[in-house]
Structures are given as C-alpha cells and as structure tokens.
Structure 1
C-alpha cells in the first residue's frame, strides 16, 4: 500500500506543479484607487499622467487638467505617456459606478506602466470637490 501511495505521488507531482510558476493570465487586472487628495496633489505637481475615458464630447466639456482624451488618442497612448514606466498613471471615467476606466488602465499596464491607479470619483467627483477643470473653448 505504501508503495502504491509513493508511486501515485511521484506520478502526480509533475502535473500538480506544472503551472505553479505561471501568473494567472485570465485573472482580471486590479488597479488600486487613488484618493482625491492624492490625485489633486499629483496633478498640481505635474507628477501624474491622467487618462480621461468619458468620451471626446465629455472631454471637451470638462476634464481633469492635463488629461489625455482616451477615445481620441488611444492609438497614440505610447507616445503620449511619459518614458518613465514608473510614472503614476491614473485613469478615470464618469463616477464611482463607471467601469470604463479599465480599458485605459489595462492599456497603460500593457505598455509596461507599473503604477497604474483608478480615480473612482471620476469627473463628477472632481467637479463636485470644486477642483479646477480644463475645457475646450466654446466656438
């Protein structure tokens, strides 16, 4: 019986450890939230790359200062983000219930950025706080 258990263990071991070192490829990426205060400080000191995922029309009407219009510029993201892959990159959309930010956050992570976060307050929270917004001039 002991011989059988030993044989079974020996045969099963390679199958049990075959994928032990692999990362979970199907596991969705998690992007930690950044507080309003942290983001406002980073925007003020220009130490963050901000990506707006609300769509180009909303972007024109109001955005966090310095934000990139993801809808219009997603194909150029590699050229628009800083060369330093450790730079703080923050993606946001409309507000706490919006999940559209994930596309931009994943795109930044796929480009090798290692400090990608989510601002869950979104543009609605940013405006509600009284923080400055940029907008395109009305024609």
Structure 2
C-alpha cells in the first residue's frame, strides 16, 4: 500500500537537480535577503509591491515601495537595465509578487521573488521598519 506522497514516483536525481537549480533562478528567501542586507552585500533593489498604506505600516528596512500596478519604465528609469529587482508582498497568500515579476520581466528587467513576503520575514524573527 502506498501513500499519497509516494504514489507518484519521485523524479530521477538529474531531473530533480535541474528543477531545484532552476527554482533558485526565480526566487530567493527571507534568510538570504536578510543576510545580504545585514552584511552590506545588497547587490539588488528590494521592492515592496504592496500598497503605500501597508508599506507605511511596516516594511523591510532598505526596501523601496512601488505597488505592483505602478511598476513601469518611468518608475525604474534611475536603475540600469542590469539591476536585479527582488520583489515581495504580504506573504504566500498574496500574488502581488507574481504580478510585479511579470511586469518587470516584460520590461526586460532581471527579477526574483522573495518567497514568504512580510509573513515569512516575521516568521523568521526579523523585524519590520516603520
């Protein structure tokens, strides 16, 4: 008797390696962002894509606020085309990061999502700035 977990066999190791390496091209996590910010290794622009009111109520220190509907070439003109943007929103229940990533990708900008968003940040024990 098999479980729902093993009913569909796991991928072979090479396929798994390719899949998980590919994921890291699209996303990062709260720990890696926190480490970069805490150790002066911020080689990206951290973008909070929530509305202004939510940003003002609490955000990750060092982030800028551009709500995802307002991401456009005019708002990004001060950044080179090679600038890496890391986007985050409220948390796993919010698809604002995906909407923002789509907009940035359509503009030809490098982008990754920070998985977990604000919820993940707080869950990891990190503080928000006001």
Q: Which runs of 5+ in 2 are unaligned?
A: 1-24
Kept after mapping to 2: 8 A contact 1:91/1:117: yes
Question: Which structure has the larger Rg?
Answer: 1
Structure 1 residue 132 corresponds to structure 2 residue 127: yes
Q: Which residue of 2 aligns with 1:13?
A: none
How does the TM-score come out when normalised to structure 1? 0.62
Alignment: residue pair count: 102
**Counterpart Cα distance in 2 of 1:109 and 1:77:** 15
Q: Secondary structure at the match of 1:34?
A: strand
Q: Which residue of 2 aligns with 1:35?
A: 29
Partner Cα distance (2:70, 2:77) in 1: 10
**Cα distance between partner residues in 1 of 2:105 and 2:36:** 19
Q: TM-score, normalised by structure 2?
A: 0.65
Q: Structure 1 unaligned runs (5+)? A: 1-30
Once the two structures are TM-superposed, the CA of residue 92 in structure 1 deviates from its matched residue by: 1.0
Superposed displacement of residue 73, structure 1: 5.5
Conserved? CA contact 2:30–2:116, under 8 Å: yes
Q: Equivalent of 1:83, from 80, 84, 100?
A: 80
